[in-house]
Structure 1
């Protein structure tokens, strides 16, 4: 393998890993607050807000 071929292989690997890596929170998807609706006959239940956990890399975002 030439150095140019090796470099392009490494760059493509980094690009693919970056594209398929996950970011965000682990868990189920949450709909936006404005889109939550209930049926007319159902009682409305309000869940307490979840405390957001700090992560060491948060200041970089």
Structure 2
């Protein structure tokens, strides 16, 4: 294996690892609002929405 192909392999591995590890938000997964159901007769409790923290790269997304 030449040094150029070895370097290409290393760079591609780092790029793929970076792309996969930077996906999503930190925290528990949230269900969509339409999929949350309650049983008949149970009182409906509404939680106030959690305010998102701004991140420096948010305008780029």
TM-score normalized by the length of structure 2: 0.77
Shift of 1:28: 0.7
| Mapped partners of 1:8, 1:57: distance in 2 | 28
Could you give the per-residue CA deviations for residues 10-42 of structure 1, whole angstroms, max 9, x where no partner exists?
A: 233134313531422111111111111101121
Hey, what does 2:50 align to over in structure 1?
50
Q: How does 1:17-56 map to 2 (within 5 A)?
A: 17-56=17-56
Divergent runs of 4+, >3 A: none
Q: Which runs of 5+ in 1 are unaligned?
A: none
TM-score normalized by the length of structure 1: 0.77
Hey, what does 1:10 align to over in structure 2?
10
Q: Which runs of 5+ in 2 are unaligned?
A: none
| Mapped partners of 1:40, 1:5: distance in 2 | 63
